[in-house]
Structure 1
Amino acid sequence: MTVAIWAWVLAAYDQPGVPDATLALQDNYGQNTSYLLWAVYARATDRSLLNRAAATARAWDQTALIPLRQARRALKTQLPPIDDGAREAFREKVKTLELAAERLLMETLAGLADQGHGVGAFEALSAAADAWGEAPPAQALADLARVLG
């Protein structure tokens, strides 16, 4: 199942609009996009399962994802006298680690539940965002559900 979820996520990110919709949910509304995508993949709506998954994602955010993301974003800016080429090469390594951390979270969440059936992407996203805490506007979730198909 863990390989299946990562292949699904990569295919989802290849769809037009998905990167922008997930970035908006992450940056504008404090959502964890790996958790949201897992919820769509798993078609998860069970509150107990979503709460466990949200707790796992929050802990991983604090431990790995947020620090790596902050470092990657900070490394966009020139930092004289650090050589720009060396800085950018290091930034790419941090980006690779951030992606590996996201994959590890997705695979961990996939181990919590089998891929579900029956509920739509918007229903799964809404339930997951509600379990996460302060839910974003329904339109932001609908935008992601629409581009996920």
Structure 2
Amino acid sequence: MFGMGLTEILLVGAVALMLFTPRELPSIIKGIARFYASLRRTAEDFRAQIMESEEMQDIRGEYHRTRAEIDRAKHMARREVQKVQREAKSVGDSVKQTAQEGKSALSGRVGQGEPAERSKVAPTESERRLKVAAAGDDDDGRDQGAA
């Protein structure tokens, strides 16, 4: 205890008996024991605070490293989004320009060109029957007039 051997403890006890009366000695020893316990608690609290402080420093260091990684990831993501936005705007501008050129080309042709020819769509079955019937009526009228 306290780095003292048995002889040192006996010497301290003998000096205490010379300085204090035997009635005061038990209360003095209790006071010294309380002081010693208080001192040990204080030392233990101090040690715990130091350990907690070191742990907090480790936690803070880890927090700052993680925060830096998150910030780098956000920065990279932001750059990629901006790159995609620029590409999309470029494609949009290209589409607008192509549409504008097509519109200009069409408006130039419509104003200066000849009228469009009528498309020749194949007649439907009912249209063919009507034509055949009309042609047959014309043939019957000629034959009757000739006879």
TM-score class, shorter-chain normalisation, is under 0.3
**Structure possessing the higher radius of gyration over alpha carbons:** 2
Q: Which has the higher contact order (CA 8 A, sep 6+)?
A: 1
- TM-score of the aligned structures, taking structure 2 as reference length: 0.23
- TM-score of the aligned structures, taking structure 1 as reference length: 0.23
Q: Judging by fraction of residues, say which structure has more helix.
A: 2
